[in-house]
Amino acid sequence: MWDVEAFTKAAAVTVSELAAYVEESQRGEVPVVRQRPPAEIAEKLRLAELIREGGLSAETYQDFLHAFLSEGTRLHHPAYLAHQVASPDFPAALADFIHGATNNPMAIYEMGAAAATVEFEVIRWMLEKAGFPGGAGVLTHGGSLANLTALLAARAHAAPDAWTDGTPADLVILAPPSAHYSVSRAASIMGLGQKAVVELPTDDLGRLTVERFPEISGKRPIALVASACATGTGLHDDLRAVGQWCRDRDIWFHVDGAHGASALLSPAHRHLLDGVGLADSLIWDAHKMLRTSSLAAAVLVRREGALDAAFQQDASYIFYGDQGFDLIGRTVECTKAELGLKIFLNLAWRGERGLGDFVAGRYAAAHRFWELARRRPGFALPYEPESNIVCFRYGTADPAGIRERMMADGTFYLTSTILNGIRHLRVTVMNPATDDTHLEHLLDEITRLTPPDTRR
Ligand SMILES: *Cc1c(COP(=O)(O)O)cnc(C)c1O
């Protein structure tokens, strides 16, 4: 049985430690990232001893938690400009806590009627935003699984017998080289193999160029994948043009909106997804721009039934009736977390408007970074950003070296990516605390760390 008194005490410790952690992170007075060697961390946290002997108490737990938090990566830090992972908002954090205590794996309705209904309504809202009023959807543990799920639905559409007979050898997936790697992984997982991913032509920045698409003969395309937006650059494909090309040829149109679908909530940015209503399927990660913790991703399909067909030959559609419903027929997962609650609580707290304003604010901050960098000599920016992702170079120095220096100092945490064969630094503005001051400071730091003879 739970010792409810001990739980209450430990929970209070957790809240006060996390509050202090978030506060000092937001102020930016501590290193954004620390990477001490694992052996040192294991010793500091007394891992081996605690695993062997147990015995953690409210007091020693506080010491442990404090040390644990101080050795991690701080996503609430304004200098966190790295991977596309949310700086989570607290309502979503509460949902994780609630799930941890209640554990209602609600893929079947009887295992969590409230959580299942919350997911259903969140999905209904997402379908409305995507312009799929008669559609269906489900939440999965992440965008990679969501892409696989959508492509399984596409396969069922192209080859209904594949579920029982295996994947026919003439099936292919059409995608640009800039597509997220989970797309080509899905091809292998589905038994098509990497060679079945036909690379579509793009411009220099990896955007699909529909006017140069080849006509496909001798192969049956399961789906064409477009990005909204591409992971590397944050740039959007022209969904209307690509979607029309697919319509004209009766090819399933899949939009990978893992990062960028949240722009649907910002009136000033919604146009980036113009044409998404032509899609047969769309994925949308809430743990990127809707500020939930990892993971919570939606798979949305335009036609009711398309998703149920992904995992069985004789699909029976899910209707929201008096007897409840089971989402288990739509997912790879069997047991599944209460993912809808994270998205719901952020929505319930901030409103659709609040989340849309957040997206607009971070996109504006990234654009601001682009403007500030462009004004400085030596900075090269290959494109104007459309989202909160910006790629750039400074002089001729090795961007990887600069990035590692900043991480070792704990001053900034960025990523890097190859664009047109050249390594670029990459900033993703995920954090509501990041403002002009931090962005200017980042540019100063990069200049300072670059040897003078390589600054041009
Ligand atoms: C992040 C991302 C994914 C993968 O999502 P995960 O939730 O990390 O599995 C897929 N596609 C795009 C475009 C992404 O940006």
Closest residue by Cα to atom 15, ligand 1, is 231
The pLDDT, as a whole number, for residue 36 is 96
Ligand 1 near 86 CB (within 6 A): no
Ligand 1 near 299 CB (within 6 A): no
Is the pLDDT at 366 greater than 90, yes or no?
yes
The pLDDT, as a whole number, for residue 318 is 75
Task: Give which of 135, 149, 214, 234 is closest to 183, Cα–Cα.
Answer: 149
The mean of the pLDDT values for the chain is 96
What is the set of domains in the chain, with CATH numbers?
96-346 (3.40.640.10)
Closest residue by Cα to atom 4, ligand 1, is 143
Out of 139, 225, 231, 388, mutate this one to test ligand 1's pocket (max ligand atoms within 8 Å of CB): namely: 231
Give the model confidence (pLDDT) of 81-105 as tens digits: 999 999 999 999 999 999 999 999 9
Give the model confidence (pLDDT) of 411-435 as tens digits: 999 999 999 899 999 999 999 999 9
Which ligand 1 atom is the nearest neighbour of the CA of 231? 15
Which ligand 1 atom is the nearest neighbour of the CA of 145? 9
Cβ 52 vs Cβ 357: under 8 Å: no
Band of the pLDDT at 321, cuts 50, 70, 90? confident
Ligand 1 near 258 CB (within 6 A): yes
Closest residue by Cα to atom 8, ligand 1, is 143
Kindly state the average pLDDT of the residues 276-303: 97
